């Protein structure tokens, strides 16, 4: 029997593919639900929680947000990378967290609490602008996006 954690996401989708353990922060689940509602299309979770062994097997970074139950790799049916990035960037939980864009056709979203943006092309972390356009930040309370080093990639960006 399928056990739902929220209206659109199951335990099986977010549990570790290696050991079956489940750890998911409520903020991540809320953000995924908001993303699903804004997209108006299914959000397919490729990877949610990862145990340390699974994270090592898939080449995840040492301090991966996946191992803390704070991240998911997703794709949205019928969306381009740009569309997925724009949708994720409109979700408050992810705006304040990490969004990574991957040339494999998926995005990483997390609720780390500090803004980080990056892209990975052919296995190499690059500036996010290699795959998507960043929105112009016009609100007075938001700072411009600046390149920084992060745990997800050497050319990530965050609010300065």
Structural domain including 34 reads 11-159
Q: What is the pLDDT of residues 4-21, one digit of tens each?
A: 999 999 999 999 999 999
Q: What is the pLDDT of residues 61-86, one digit of tens each?
A: 999 999 999 999 999 999 999 999 99
The answer to whether residue 2 sits within a structural domain is no
The answer to whether residue 5 sits within a structural domain is no
Q: Check: CB of residue 92 under 8 Å from CB of residue 52.
A: no
Which residues are bridge partners to 101 per DSSP?
A: 107, 119
Q: Is the pLDDT at 153 greater than 80, yes or no?
A: no
The CA distances from residue 39 to 3, 22, 27, 46, in Å, are 23, 25, 18, 17
CATH of the domain at 47: 3.30.1380
Mean local confidence (pLDDT), 48-58: 97
pTM reported for the whole predicted model: 0.83
Q: Check: CB of residue 66 under 8 Å from CB of residue 55.
A: yes
What percentage of the chain carries pLDDT values higher than 90? 77
């Amino acid at each position: 029997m399928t056990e739902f954690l929220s209206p659109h996401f199951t335990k099986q989708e977010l549990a570790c593919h290696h050991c079956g353990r489940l750890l998911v922060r409520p903020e991540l689940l809320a953000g995924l639900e908001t993303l699903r509602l804004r997209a108006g299309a299914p959000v397919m979770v490729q990877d949610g929680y990862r145990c340390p062994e699974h994270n090592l097997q898939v080449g995840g970074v040492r301090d991966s947000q996946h191992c803390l139950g704070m991240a998911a790799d997703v794709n949205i049916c019928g969306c381009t990378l740009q569309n997925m990035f724009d949708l994720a960037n409109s979700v408050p939980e992810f705006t304040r967290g990490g969004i990574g864009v991957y040339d494999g056709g998926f995005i990483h979203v997390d609720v780390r609490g500090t803004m980080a943006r990056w892209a990975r092309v052919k296995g190499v972390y690059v500036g996010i602008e290699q795959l998507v356009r960043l929105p112009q930040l016009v609100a007075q309370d938001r700072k411009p996006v600046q390149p920084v080093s992060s745990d997800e990639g050497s050319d990530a960006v965050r609010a300065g």
